[in-house]
Amino acid sequence: MIVATTNDLTGHRIVRHIGMVRGVTVRSRNAISDAIGGVQSMLGGRVGVYVKLAETARQEAYDDLVAHARDMGANAVLAMRYDANEIMPGVTEVLAYGTAVVVEPA
C-alpha cells in the first residue's frame, strides 16, 4: 500500500477513485504513565512516556487506515492526514484519513 500526504503520486496515474478511508483509535493514559510523565515534565524536555503513547496511537490509526483502504480495493491512499481530539481528560481519539485510490505506473 502506497500512502502519501500529497494529492497525487509522481510516476503513477490514478485509474480509480474509491473514496475516503479512515482509521481511528482511542487511547487513554494510565496511572503509571502519568506518574512517570509528571516526573519527566518537572525535569523539562522530552516526556518519553507520552511520546510512546502518541506514537502507538498514531500507528494503530495508520494500520486501521491501510486495512480499510485494502478492504475497499485500493492500492494507495492520497492526501493522508492525522487528527486528534481529547474526548475527556486523559482520553484521546486519533484519526488517520485520506483518499483511497487505485494507481498504476505512468
DSSP-assigned beta bridge partners for residue 85 = 93
C-alpha separations of 103 from 1, 62, 78 in Å: 10, 20, 10
Question: Can you tell me the distance from the alpha carbon of 7 to that of 14, in angstroms, rounded to the nearest whole number?
Answer: 11
What global pTM score does this model have? 0.83
4-43 pLDDT per residue, tens: 999 999 999 999 999 999 999 998 766 555 555 555 555 6
- What is residue 5's DSSP assignment? S
Grid coordinates belonging to 36: 512517570
38-97 pLDDT per residue, tens: 555 556 666 677 788 889 999 999 999 999 999 999 999 999 999 999 998 888 899 999
Q: What is the largest CA-CA distance in the chain?
A: 54
